């Protein structure tokens, strides 16, 4: 049965099948992968072989499922209920690479080159390079350059940092400056085998530890002319369009991990006894849990309302995507921290997953545009 969160039977079936798969395959090793900072490549590739959920928004002619943009958001939320780090790597591949590559060509009005079609059909582990050591949220401050040569090829120089899937990726979409103008930015398809391109080692992080993050370095990296994605100097338009769906994906991660934290604290308060009665009888616990429930429900409704507006092309959807990401990421941190408090020492220990989920939640107020930057955007645009 469909619901306000699943607008079709396909969405409902998709959510249920992924939730079952995640509990059977992701949940047993989630803590181990976090502790050892291990990205399980074979498990990640099973998303394609067993679930077929890579390329969910691609048309069937490109080997995709032909679903709307609600599908990857539903998938990201559902995976994050069990393992937000795994979900983050999926988000980077599905929204920041696969969907972005296809969508950029669609917006450009040009036909996608056969070489790009081939990459999409291979379902690579992939990511997107936008952030740099000195340019994060300020994307127009990027310094990576791509200079066009007489033979049409491009020479790329520069460094991208904090890139999800960088240490393990097969392919990346990378933004680079291609002209003198501040907005002269273009998008390129990069393969891990390209000469002059190097993937960095995994960063040591507080959370999302089994989702590898690293740098991408370009030193006289030569790429053929057909690796330009879309039109020259016109990378900003698809970038800004994709930032909206990325932020909804990050908000969905917050909702997914918050649901698990809420489920755990509700069960715990009913089972745990103190002073001869369940702790659910104490007003302090009732306040914490009820506030978490209300914030979670309100945030999730906001997420799916905005997602529907984005799909329908409503003009305020991109503004609300900023607000949703701000709202949901703060909610995720609040709910996960509250779960630790309700569980006490058990929450602070690794006996329950809430401490891992809280560490994962912190990134969601930083990645995809910091909450402070979103506040600045919203105060200007609302």
Q: Which positions are annotated as active-site residues?
A: 246
Question: Helices 236-271 and 317-343 meet at what angle, rounded to 10?
Answer: 30
Cβ–Cβ under 8 Å, residues 77 and 252? yes
Half-sphere exposure of 32 (CA within 13 A, CB side): 6
CB atoms within 10 A of CB 55: 24
In this structure, the strands spanning 171-177 and 126-129 are parallel
The single residue listed with the structure tokens 């089994």 is 210
Strands (E), 235-314: 273-274, 277-278
Half-sphere exposure of 291 (CA within 13 A, CB side): 16
Cα-only R_g, the chain: 21
* Run of H or E residues at 171: strand 171-177
**Burial label, 118 (beta-carbon count in 10 A; 0-12, 13-18, 19+):** exposed
The single residue listed with the structure tokens 């701000």 is 326
Q: Which residues neighbour 361 within 8 Å (Cβ) at sequence distance 6 or greater?
A: 84, 207, 254, 257, 258, 329, 332, 333, 336
Two structure tokens written together for 119: 């990459």
């Amino acid at each position: 049965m469909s619901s306000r969160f699943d607008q079709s039977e396909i969405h409902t079936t998709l959510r249920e099948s992924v939730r079952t798969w995640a509990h059977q395959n992701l949940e047993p090793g989630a803590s181990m992968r976090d502790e050892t900072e291990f990205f399980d490549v074979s498990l990640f590739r099973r998303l394609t072989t067993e679930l077929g959920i890579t390329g969910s928004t691609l048309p069937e002619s490109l080997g995709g499922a032909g679903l709307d943009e609600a599908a990857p958001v539903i998938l990201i939320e559902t995976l994050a209920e069990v393992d937000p780090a795994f979900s983050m790597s999926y988000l980077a591949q599905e929204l920041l690479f696969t969907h972005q590559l296809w969508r950029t060509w669609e917006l450009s009005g040009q036909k996608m080159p056969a070489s790009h079609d081939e990459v999409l059909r291979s379902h690579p582990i992939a990511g997107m390079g936008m952030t740099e050591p000195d340019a994060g949220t300020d994307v127009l401050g990027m310094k990576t350059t791509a200079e066009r040569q007489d033979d049409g090829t491009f020479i790329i120089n520069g460094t991208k940092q904090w890139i999800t899937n960088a240490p393990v990726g097969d392919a990346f979409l990378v933004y680079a400056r291609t002209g003198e103008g501040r907005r002269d930015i273009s998008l390129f398809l990069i393969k891990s085998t390209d000469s002059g391109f190097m993937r960095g080692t995994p960063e040591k992080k507080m959370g999302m530890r089994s989702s590898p993050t690293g740098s991408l370095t370009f030193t006289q990296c030569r790429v053929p002319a057909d690796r330009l994605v879309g039109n020259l100097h016109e990378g900003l338009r698809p970038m800004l369009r994709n930032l909206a769906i990325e932020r909804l994906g990050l908000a969905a991660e917050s909702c997914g991990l918050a649901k698990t934290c809420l489920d755990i604290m509700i069960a715990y308060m009913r089972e745990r006894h103190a002073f001869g009665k369940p702790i659910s009888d104490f007003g302090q616990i009732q306040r914490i849990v009820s506030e978490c429930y209300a914030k979670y429900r309100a945030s999730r409704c906001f997420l799916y309302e905005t997602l529907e507006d984005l799909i329908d092309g409503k003009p305020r959807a991109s503004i609300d995507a900023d607000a949703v990401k701000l709202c949901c990421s703060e909610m995720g941190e609040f709910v996960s921290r509250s779960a630790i408090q309700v569980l006490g020492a058990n929450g602070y220990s690794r006996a329950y997953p809430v401490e891992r989920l809280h560490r994962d939640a912190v990134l969601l107020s930083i990645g995809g545009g910091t909450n402070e930057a979103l506040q600045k955007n919203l105060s200007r645009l609302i």
